[in-house]
Amino acid sequence: MAPVLSAHPQFTATLVLLLSVLSLAAGGKLLVTCVDGSPWFAMREVLDVLRQKGHEIVVVAPEINIHIKSTKNLVMKMYPVPFTQEEMDGNLQAFLQDLSEEASFVERFLKVYQGIKRSYDLFVSSCAQLLFNKELLRYLEESKFDAILSDPALPCGPILAEHLSVPSVFFLRLIPCGLDFEATQCPSPPSYVPRGFTELADSMNFLQRMKNLIFDIPNYFLCDFILQAYGKLASEFLQRDVTLPDLLRKASIWLVRLDFVLEYPRPLMPNMIFIGGMNCAHKKLPQVIHSLFSILALVEFCLYKSGILYCG
């Protein structure tokens, strides 16, 4: 390492300067909007670390939720929503049951479409309650946040970021209908990128590519209500015509919870960072269990490369 640094004095000077600036950096003020369920568990670990490093965290969340609970380490701002806990739980159980049932592609598509539509109706109404909550919005405007961290799968965060004129950092696993590809302008050709329900890998013959192309067509219908509902809400709140892809394109950083070990390689933009290993980096397992997981991971990787398994 020493010969490398001595051979590049400009690099050494730049590195020392950056480290000096970072040592003087003060904690910032972060606004967080999140997706309930397992995404919240992943985001909460990140927020705990940020809090330990001196950042002030404010989380806005609906009063009716599954896992988002108050914690002493974070400032929680809860807002009312026009549905009950029973309605939300029942909708979730019905959607999970539809996903687990064996059926034809048409039947699965219709059930998924109906389940997503029911869920997004609740999500859009929840987002509207947040955006048009005058007291809470006034608090957010006066707080002068440095950035907003959100999961764009439910794009209330990007709408708030646009209203508050603050940089947005996206923390996500995926977005329905490939909106992340569209927003970041990453190539997503159906001859190479497998679509949902196809159970294909990234290596396909001609007939499989044709199948992949056909399975991609329903996405245009599936996403129509998502784009229209949130686009209409954003336009009404911001008082100008905007589209959801327009809002997503303004993200400063995309933190994507994927890893090429279990995903097919794909093009990335410079502001996209894969952090798929964050959910298991802190786990300390006994050596026997660790070895077992290593073997299972190797088997899964071999099945994936052989085209038997596709993890999307």
For residues 147, 153, 155 and 157, what is the CA-based torsion angle, rounded to 10 degrees? Answer: -20
Mean pLDDT, range 128-149, rounded to an integer: 95
pLDDT in tens, 93-136: 887 777 677 777 677 777 777 777 788 888 899 999 999 999 99
- Let me know if 276 is exposed, middle or buried by CB neighbors in 10 A (0-12, 13-18, 19+): middle
| pLDDT at residue 23 tops 60 | no
| pTM of the shown model | 0.76
Q: Looking at per-residue confidence, does 254 or 108 come out higher?
A: 254
The Cβ of residue 137 has, within 10 Å, a number of other Cβ atoms equal to 18
pLDDT in tens, 204-232: 899 999 988 888 877 776 677 767 889 99
Q: How much is the pLDDT for 283?
A: 55
| pLDDT at residue 150 tops 90 | yes
- The arrangement of strands across the sheet holding 168-172 comes to 75-79, 56-62, 29-33, 147-150, 168-172, 253-256, 272-274
- Let me know if 62 is exposed, middle or buried by CB neighbors in 10 A (0-12, 13-18, 19+): buried
